[in-house]
Amino acid sequence: MLLSFDKVSSYYGATQILRNVSFDLEQGQCLCVLGRNGVGKTTIMRTIMGLTDRTTGSITMGDEAIANKPPYQRAGYGIGYVPQGRGILADFTVRENILLGTFARKDSAPEIPELCLRIFPYLRENLDRRAGLLSGGQKQQLAIARALAVGPQVLLLDEPTEGIQPNIVHEIGEILRMLNKELGISLILTEQHIKVARKLGDAFLMVDNGRVVARGPIDEMTDELVERHMTI
């Protein structure tokens, strides 16, 4: 198993958000984490990266226990992260933003991987453009490129299609499919678009009030489950 959670609880201060969450991510799998806003989806991603205040339970990457390791070490195990809101540094150039991802590489190569520029031609043509001037879709491309610069085995994407035009949603979906199915990078993504989840996902995790309430192969994510746990 590539990544495993075993009875993981996670806290911000004294407030518990995740409650005994367990799941496994297999090599080459795309796992979609779904649920209403505010139920703990983002906290799952932040817990994987070590960005909450406290966790209990076991988190392993391959054979390595990582629950007590700082975020930079977790990135060094091959975990790339595209946070909700993208986390782009507006005053940095496109080039500088992507290069930030290389700091976590085990080979410490201070160069932009060719993959990042091959799949996002706009970024290649605008490396010296200030990132704050990019559109929402271009910033998402940049955030994905920065995460890929880590050289990840696992790519975490928190709401990757949020606030993006429909044509760009399709484009990013195709790129994620290529990264997953052709290059073998495992994906965990939180999603509100059910069509995107069903198109990309191999498996799903439905979350409600910090707990896993359903999980399984993506074809077992029924309309009834979606209506029960995702409609307002």
Query: Which CATH number goes with the domain that contains 89?
Result: 3.40.50.300
Range of the domain at 90: 3-230
Task: Indicate the number of domains in the chain.
Answer: 1
pLDDT for 18-37, tens place per residue? 999 999 999 999 999 999 99
How many whole angstroms from its chain centre is CA 215? 18
pLDDT at 186 over 90: yes
* Average pLDDT along the chain: 94
Strands 3-12 and 79-82: unpaired
Query: pLDDT confidence of 108, banded at 50, 70, 90?
Result: low
Least confident piece of the model among 52-56, 107-111, 167-171: 107-111
pLDDT for 140-149, tens place per residue? 999 999 999 9
Q: What is the pLDDT of residue 64?
A: 94
Between the alpha carbon of residue 175 and those of residues 11, 39, 76, 116, 181, the distances in Å are 33, 28, 23, 11, 10
pTM of the model: 0.94
Q: What is the dihedral of CA 75, 38, 230, 22, to 10 degrees?
A: 50
